[in-house]
Amino acid sequence: MTFLQYAEHKAHDDQGKTAYESINRLKSKGYSIKVSYAAVGELFKVLQEKEDKLRSDPMNLLQELWNRCKSNHFEMYCPSKEELRRYIDLVNRIRGTDRFIKPADALIIGQSMADKSCNFFLTFDRYLFESHDLEKVIRGHIQYKKYTITSAPQID
């Protein structure tokens, strides 16, 4: 939901404000902001679960999500044919190393790890950026780039 707060420019809570500031700082330094299709699916699932409260058609929610991604110049990312094998391997390693990571999170993290141009994975799930097991997977299988899971990326 923090992503949606950013997309709406409603950074009222600490996480929304941090996401807004981090994403704008990254954009100002020339970084592209990518959202994986797995993350979009997870966001849509959350929105759909709240559908009754929102009294909105799920297709309208999906269109709104798409419009927010486009209006904020977020790139949509899906592993290429060449990246797919590595992506699947990374997801299996993440799930095999740390069973407390949710399957959807493993898919999303695996996509960001497989993307050779991805340097940061922005999340507010404290468990993900403090997981020693996940850190071992990253250090063992991502040697070709700097890669960090964080709630506030450190950039020069």
| Alpha-carbon gap, residue 19 to 125, rounded angstroms | 12
Q: pLDDT per position in the chain (156 positions), as tens?
A: 344 444 444 545 677 777 778 888 888 888 888 888 888 888 777 777 766 665 667 677 778 778 878 887 888 888 888 889 989 999 999 999 988 999 989 999 999 888 888 888 888 888 888 899 998 988 888 876 678 888 777 776
Show the domains of the chain with their CATH numbers. 1-156 (3.40.50)
- The pLDDT value recorded for residue 13 is 66
State CA 7 to chain mean position distance. 14
- The pLDDT value recorded for residue 156 is 63
- The pLDDT value recorded for residue 154 is 75
Which residues fall within 8 angstroms of residue 21, CB to CB, at 6 or more apart? 11
- The pLDDT value recorded for residue 6 is 45
Which helix (H) or strand (E) element contains residue 6? Answer: helix 2-8
- The pLDDT value recorded for residue 8 is 46
Q: Which residues pair with 149 in a beta bridge?
A: 121
